């Protein structure tokens, strides 16, 4: 793949240097939207005596993965660092290892194989489905322990590197933390959290592709610069991984953010700034930051906002910066249910935000909604439909409305990890009803996630190392619903069995040994509070 890029680092391949293959198990188009890749790439390449090169999932499924900078096979690297943002990345990471000729099961790998490290949000919450894949997991934010990692990886052998890494906060290893059956025998590990952004590295220079416009390699956001305003969230919605495993929120100040963007404008050539963060609207003086970016001549784009933070000034600046779609996540059209799932947001706030958006000139609205909460009934279904109808009739009379309405997926370390999900049939019946009703609303379209994929995601979110053989076989075949269905059936299992299965509150769960800033007692209390309220 020939791509011309700004700021890519191509070091001379030197056998004396320690070589890191930085893997994002998605194609170039997706991988280059990852701020984690930008950050780790420039951090690793700033270390003396290290070479870091990127390795992404090839567009051609028959092709062997190789590094972009020097076209090296994954086996040529001393260390493979894999960033898994989502659970499905596990399968593609395993597939890439297999195609590179690297044994994906750590128990069968040779000493001469690269040291495999895996980190990212999904494994920070529950690494156990791929417990036997890496030599080490890293759980949490990398920046606070960067120097400790550099020192450990500077050791002269794989064995010494692993032993040194085990002294680093947030690191766990199958060989040292578990017995041969995968039972935890080590001490509890605390995931690493940034406490102060002012003292952490930020990639002012970023890799920006220049000759891929209109091709399959063009990044999702085009010729863009990525600006992270914050990490984590203080809201703790019952279904949300971020609010429970990345609590509390940590943000950058307006002064820090404007300094980053000013330096970036001097050292990069880009057209657009993408604002990254899980609670962007809660950034103080966000309107001033966006105004500063627009005044520099850039387009700007933000992800979903909390409706109760939206103002006319904010949306006017966004529209002037080229954003055409307002995205909100009300989750449900039933206000009482919304409050019960701890999404503290009122209908009035949502309708007011949409009204402001339409009056400001926005003509595209995207809504994220969820169905399948415990004790949800037909009344909730109808309220969801009426909610969308009301928005079209009163607050967004013209323009396009897109409604992404998907099944609740149980996630580890959240209150709803204890709840069963809907069966395939139940979910499809709900989807059919929503599809029929929402398509009748003028210029409004629904979008759905297939229930079978929801079941697969639940397996990857809540199961443990027993499921690794499934992942190894799926990676060799193809990640498809049909292959999953056949494998489950071969093992006397099914999608519905997985959907209905759930941990019990009294169970000792594998991820209980990974601690975040909220205790399991807090998570359980939130679930019981919800169930008690909705059962009445």
Task: Kindly state whether residue 479 falls inside one of the protein's structural domains.
Answer: no
**Which tokens belong to 356?**
């402001």
Q: Output the pTM of the full model.
A: 0.96
What pLDDT, in 10s, does the model give residues 443-493?
Answer: 999 999 999 999 999 999 999 999 999 999 999 999 999 999 999 999 999
Domain residue limits at 437: 223-415+423-447
Beta strand 250-251 with 230-231 is: antiparallel
pLDDT for the residue 1:
58
Mean pLDDT estimate for the chain? 95
Looking at the fold, whether 139 and 279 belong to one and the same domain comes out as no
Q: Mind listing the pLDDT tens digit for each residue in 247-280?
A: 999 999 999 999 999 999 999 999 999 999 988 8
CA separation, residue 119 to residues 42, 139, 365, 479, 480 (Å) = 17, 6, 34, 21, 25
Mean pLDDT, range 323-332, rounded to an integer: 97
Are 184 and 238 in a shared domain?
A: no
Q: Tell me the CATH number at 40.
A: 3.40.50.2300
**Among 188, 204, 237, where does a domain finish?**
188
Q: Are residues 58 and 127 in the same domain?
A: yes
Provide the pLDDT confidence category of residue 315 given band limits of 50, 70 and 90.
very high
CB within 8 Å of 295: residues ≥ 6 apart: none
Region 136-144: what's the mean pLDDT? 97
Q: Are residues 126 and 237 in the same domain?
A: no
Residue 515 lies in a domain: no
- Residue 454: closest CA among 408, 402, 500, 508: 408
Number of separate domains in the chain: 2
pLDDT digits (tens, 9 = 90+) for 371-421: 999 999 999 999 999 999 999 999 999 999 999 999 999 999 999 999 999
For residue 285, which phi and psi values (nearest 5 degrees)? 60, 35
Contact (Cβ atoms closer than 8 angstroms) between residue 133 and residue 470: no
Q: Which residues, 6 or more positions from 83, have their beta carbon under 8 angstroms from its beta carbon? A: 22, 23, 24, 34, 36, 37, 40, 89, 118, 119, 120
User: What is the tens place of the pLDDT at every residue in 221-239?
Assistant: 889 999 999 999 999 999 9
Does residue 212 contact residue 203 with C-beta atoms inside 8 Å? no
Inter-residue contact 79 to 21 (CB < 8 Å)? yes
What's 272's domain CATH number? 3.80.30.20
Same domain as 36, residue 150: yes
pLDDT value, residue 50 = 98
Which H or E element spans position 177?
A: helix 174-177
In sequence order, what are the residues at sequence separation of 6 or more whose Cβ sits closer than 8 angstroms to the Cβ of residue 297? none
Matching residue, tokens 């971020």: 242
Domain-embedded: residue 355: yes
What is the pairing mode between strands 325-331 and 364-371?
parallel
What's the average model confidence in pLDDT over 100-114?
Answer: 96
Please give the backbone phi and psi of residue 157, each rounded to the nearest 5 degrees, phi first. -140, 160
Residues 280 and 375 in one domain: yes
Does residue 475 belong to any structural domain of this protein? no
151: nearest Cα among 48, 227, 239: 48
Decide if 287 is inside a domain.
yes
Same domain, 265 and 140: no
Residues 241, 162 share a domain: no
pLDDT digits (tens, 9 = 90+) for 185-235: 777 899 999 999 888 999 999 999 987 777 888 888 889 999 999 999 999
One domain, residues 169 and 304: no
Q: Give the pLDDT band of residue 182 (cuts 50, 70, 90).
A: low
242 and 183 both lie in a single domain: no
Angle at 405 between CA 304 and CA 459, to 5 degrees: 95
Q: Tens digits of per-residue pLDDT, 45-98?
A: 999 999 999 999 999 989 999 999 999 999 999 999 999 999 999 999 999 999
> Residue 2 pLDDT more than 80?
no
DSSP code per residue over 281-345:
GGSTTHHHHHHHHHHTT-EEEE--B-GGG--HHHHHHHHHTT--EEEEEEE-S-HHHHHHTT---
Average pLDDT over residues 19-23: 99
For residues 252 and 169, membership in a common domain is answered with: no
pLDDT of residue 4: 87
For position 282, what pLDDT does the model report?
78
């Amino acid at each position: 793949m020939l791509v011309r890029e700004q700021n890519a680092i191509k070091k001379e391949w030197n056998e004396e240097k320690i070589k890191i293959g930085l893997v994002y198990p998605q194609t170039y188009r997706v991988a280059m939207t990852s701020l984690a890749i930008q950050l780790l790439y420039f951090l690793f390449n700033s270390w003396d005596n290290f070479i870091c090169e990127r390795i992404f999932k090839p567009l051609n499924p028959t092709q062997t993965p190789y590094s972009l900078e020097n076209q090296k096979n994954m086996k040529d690297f001393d260390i493979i660092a894999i960033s898994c943002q989502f659970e499905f990345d596990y399968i593609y990471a395993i597939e890439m290892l297999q195609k590179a000729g690297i044994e994906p099961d750590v128990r069968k790998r040779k000493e001469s194989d690269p040291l495999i490290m895996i980190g990212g949000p999904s494994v920070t919450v529950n690494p156990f489905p791929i417990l036997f894949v890496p030599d080490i997991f890293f759980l949490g934010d990398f920046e606070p322990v960067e120097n400790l990692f550099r020192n450990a990886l500077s050791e002269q052998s794989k064995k010494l590197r692993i032993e040194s890494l085990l002294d680093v906060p947030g690191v766990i290893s199958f060989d040292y933390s578990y017995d041969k059956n995968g039972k935890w025998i080590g001490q509890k590990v605390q995931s690493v959290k940034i406490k102060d952004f002012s003292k952490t590295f930020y990639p002012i220079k970023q890799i920006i592709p220049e000759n891929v416009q209109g091709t399959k390699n063009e990044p999702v956001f085009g010729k863009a610069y990525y600006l992270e305003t914050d990490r984590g969230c203080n809201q703790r919605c019952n279904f949300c991984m971020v609010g429970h495993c990345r609590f509390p929120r940590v943000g950058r100040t307006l002064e820090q953010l404007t300094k980053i963007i000013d330096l970036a404008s001097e050292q990069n050539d880009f057209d657009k700034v993408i604002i990254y963060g899980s609670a962007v609207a809660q950034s103080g003086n966000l309107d001033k930051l966006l105004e500063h970016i627009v005044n520099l001549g850039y387009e700007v784009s933000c992800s979903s906002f909390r409706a109760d933070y939206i103002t006319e000034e904010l949306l006017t600046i966004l529209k002037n910066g080229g954003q055409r779609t307002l995205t909100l996540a009300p989750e449900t059209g039933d206000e009482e249910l919304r409050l019960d799932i701890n999404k503290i947001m009122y209908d009035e706030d949502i309708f007011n935000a949409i009204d402001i958006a339409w009056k400001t000139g926005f003509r595209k609205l995207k809504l994220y909604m969820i169905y399948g909460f415990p004790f949800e009934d037909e009344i909730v279904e109808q309220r969801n439909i009426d909610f969308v109808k009301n928005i079209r009739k009163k607050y967004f009379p013209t323009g396009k409305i897109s409604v992404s309405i998907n099944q609740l997926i149980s996630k580890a370390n959240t209150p709803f990890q204890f709840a069963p999900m809907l069966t395939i049939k139940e979910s499809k019946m709900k989807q059919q009803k929503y599809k029929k009703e929402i398509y009748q609303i003028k210029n409004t379209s629904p979008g759905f996630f297939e229930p079978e994929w929801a079941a697969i995601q639940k397996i990857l979110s809540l199961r443990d190392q027993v499921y690794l053989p499934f992942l190894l076989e799926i990676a060799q075949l193809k990640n498809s619903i049909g292959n999953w269905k056949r494998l489950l059936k071969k093992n006397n299992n099914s999608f519905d069995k997985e959907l209905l299965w759930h941990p019990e509150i009294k169970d000792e769960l594998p991820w209980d040994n990974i601690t975040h800033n909220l205790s399991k007692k807090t998570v359980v209390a939130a679930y019981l509070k919800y169930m008690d309220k909705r059962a009445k």
